[in-house]
Structure 1
Amino acid sequence: MLIISEELARRLVSVEDAIGAVEQTFAAMARNEARNYPVVREVVGYQDAVFGVKTGADVSAPFLGLKAGGYWPHNMSRGLTNHQSATLLFDPETGRASALVSANYLTGVRTGAASAIATKYLARPDAQTLGIIGTGAQSAYQLRATVAVRPIRSVVAWDPSPDNLERFGTIVRELGLGYEPKAEREAVAGAADVLITVTPSQQALVERGWVRPGTHISAMGADTKGKQELDPALVAAAAIFVDETAQSITIGECQHAYGAGLIGETDIRGSLGSVVVGAIEGRRGADEITLFDGTGVALQDLVVAELAVRRATEQGLGVNADY
């Protein structure tokens, strides 16, 4: 078994690499060559943690495996990131475990990649202002991935933590972009051409009336029952695209509008992968509000882990362990 550390994973897979890999796996999902299996995600009952297992397989690559991990909200005081996870890959020919890959960085970068792919295909071509609601650890991945697909000139952001806003601002300015931290979420939503929400919130943070026509929204925070970042009326008013419909209406941002009867499955325009392969239309006009409900699927994790393993093997890196 090949073991890839957190530090090595960072060296092997860039933001741009992740965007290319995740886009390919979205396309494979749309062609029914790749499938995510049902998610297990539960409250642990210890340390206020949430733990889950996501699994899937892509028979066109081929690869299969699982990512296990979750959210430990008190980790920052221990000098650790709140999200902790690892990916286990299996040999698709034999079913034998073949690689163990640290997935903290890779989870961050694949989440940024998924959002960026949505921006690439759904945002207006002239989008220049990025709005971020939530400037914790994931915001840097979102920023770097977005600027890889759109000519962003300025960034506006909100977070309840002034320290988070200051740290994020340093990263924005290092990229040569204008930066305005905002005291109110409404100001961020109203200024954004591309709006990314990336928080653990369990209540709506963005109201319907705050968002301008033509805005693209990537809602990336809701991945568990009860989580919520958007007003259900905003979700219902948008052209909705998802990574996977079943997850979106049960654990994603769409769960609340769906549960309230504001949308049905037929109101979801389709998967982002279907847009990527040209099977369905994306944005239909300059004034349309588009929404990507990014719940995070196993195949996103597996494809970036498989890329890391492939590159480590080619370069003779990583640790081989018999078992």
Structure 2
Amino acid sequence: MQIIDKNETSRRLPMPGLIEALRSMFREGCEVPLRHAHTIDNGDPATSGTFLLMPAWQPGKKLGLKTVSIYPGNRDRGLPGLHSTYMLFDAQTGVPLVMLDGDTITSRRTAAASALAAHYLSRPDASTLLLVGTGQVAAVIPQAYSAVRPIRRVLVWNIRDESAKRLVAQLRLDGYDAEHAADLEAAVAQADIVSCATLSTAPLIKGKWLRPGMHLDLIGGFKPTMRESDDDCYVGTSVFVDTEEALIKAGDLLEPINAGVFRKESVRAQMAELCRGLRAGRQNADEITVFKAVGNALEDLAAACLAMESDS
């Protein structure tokens, strides 16, 4: 069995190629059972977490399994809040083929899926990106978006200013016109695209801040207790999801639905429908689009297959 470390996994997943691999997998489809989620209660919220098992396979091709541990309290220890591993097998024999760095798979496929959605949902001339969050996913979002939109300016907001400033410094080294956003509302007012990648349990983005033509990308929350947007973000906007699972598990959608301000039937399209051309994305320049994702094992499988097959 081959073992591919973090740096090599990243090298084998260039954003343009990864975005296209995701598009192809969404078009082809694969078997994706609902993820298994288990609460790891260590008796203290600061040390407790969630453990996820995410399988996916294409019959006759490849079978993959990702394990993910999410510990929000890790940020107070100077540790990442998420750790994962990925195993890829031959779907016909069950033979293990490769182990990849799951954190890299997760962060790069999440950012790539976000950019893929933005290809259909954001304005083609969108050039200012606001990052809300500074974790592993947020750090690669500018790279992903630059593959589909002419991103020239990146604003970074985080609840901890120091983290935002560190990411700004890195983005500048990477060639971006990046700056720290101290005021979130003011930053939203300047952005064409707002991408939230946090573990927040309280709304950060307010619907009253959104203006015509914006695209709001919500990719951090994956549980009913997690929220990055308030109810007003779903009033008068066009809402899209990665998969139907978002309507089951995302607090960003469940709470507006429970409050009666949004209906499940109002979702305009899922990612597969966009990629297959079955439903339209953005329909005019003034439309406000919202994309809510909880992540899907289909994306992990697409990334792992690309990493295994890549030898460049």
TM-score under structure 1 length normalisation: 0.88
Distance 1:50 1:63 in 2: 27
Q: Match for residue 22 of structure 1?
A: 22
Cα separation, partners in 2 of 1:259 and 1:250, compared to 1, 3 Å: farther
Match of 2:34 among 24, 33, 38: 38
Cα separation, partners in 2 of 1:236 and 1:35, compared to 1, 3 Å: farther
Distance 1:70 1:260 in 2: 31
Distance 2:4 2:195 in 1: 30
Gapped regions of structure 2 (runs ≥ 5): none
Gapped regions of structure 1 (runs ≥ 5): 316-323
**CA RMSD of superposed structures (Å):** 2.0
Structure 1 ranges of 4+ moved more than 4 A: 74-80
Classify the secondary structure of the residue corresponding to 2:195: strand
Q: Match for residue 235 of structure 1?
A: 234
Classify the secondary structure of the residue corresponding to 1:93: coil
Higher relative contact order by CA 8 Å / sep ≥ 6: 1 or 2? 1
Q: Give the C-alpha shift of residue 194 in structure 1.
A: 0.7
1:1-323 equivalences under 5 Å are: 1-29=1-29, 34-46=30-42, 47-59=47-59, 62-75=61-74, 80-251=79-250, 253-311=252-310
Q: Any idea what the Cα deviations from partners look like across 1:22-53, whole Å, max 9, x if unmatched?
A: 22222223xxxx23211112221132221111
Q: Any idea what the Cα deviations from partners look like across 1:213-249, whole Å, max 9, x if unmatched?
A: 1101110111122110001221243211111123334
Q: Any idea what the Cα deviations from partners look like across 1:241-292, whole Å, max 9, x if unmatched?
A: 1111233342353222223232222111111221122111111111111111
Q: Give the C-alpha shift of residue 144 in structure 1.
A: 0.9
Q: Any idea what the Cα deviations from partners look like across 1:131-177, whole Å, max 9, x if unmatched?
A: 11112332211111111211112122211212211111113323433
Q: Which one-letter code corresponds to 2:164 in the other structure? A: L
Q: Any idea what the Cα deviations from partners look like across 1:34-93, whole Å, max 9, x if unmatched?
A: 23211112221132221111122234x832222111213354576653211111222111
Q: Which one-letter code corresponds to 1:136 in the other structure? A: G
TM-score under structure 2 length normalisation: 0.91
Q: How many residues align?
A: 308
Classify the secondary structure of the residue corresponding to 1:149: coil
Identity of aligned residues (%): 31
Q: Give the C-alpha shift of residue 107 in structure 1.
A: 0.8
Q: Which one-letter code corresponds to 1:146 in the other structure? A: Y
Q: Which one-letter code corresponds to 2:148 in the other structure? A: V
